[in-house]
């Protein structure tokens, strides 16, 4: 049995699907779920926060950790009236 830390931070850079695949490959998906269940302080940053949701839609639909109900969706580039929206670029 793995001893869990007092606090946990899940940073992330990159695409949702790749980050989730790597988390699962290393067995950290179950570790994160177990940790969150303890109620101890947890912080997800960038894609690390996105992975907490049920589904991510970046480059297709991909399962997340399912700790937060909902989907991570792309910020719309066109409003309902068909006008272009300014979307910040982070890269």
Each domain of the chain, given as residue ranges in start order, spans 9-72
Give 71's strand partners: 55
Q: Which of 45, 33, 36 is nearest to 7 (CA)?
A: 36
Helices (H), 1-91: 16-25, 28-37, 47-50
pLDDT attached to residue 12:
86
* Residue 90 confidence (pLDDT) above 80: no
pLDDT attached to residue 88:
80
pLDDT tens, 36-88? Answer: 999 999 999 999 999 999 999 999 999 999 999 999 998 888 999 999 998 88
């Amino acid at each position: 049995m793995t001893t869990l830390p007092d606090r946990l931070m899940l940073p992330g850079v990159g695409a949702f699907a790749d980050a989730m695949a790597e988390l699962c490959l290393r067995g950290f998906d179950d570790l994160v779920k177990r940790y969150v269940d303890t109620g101890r302080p947890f912080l997800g940053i960038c894609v690390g926060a996105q992975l907490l949701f049920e589904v991510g839609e970046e480059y297709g639909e991909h399962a997340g950790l399912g700790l937060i109900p909902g989907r991570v969706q792309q910020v719309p580039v066109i409003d309902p009236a068909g006008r272009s929206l300014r979307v910040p670029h982070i890269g």
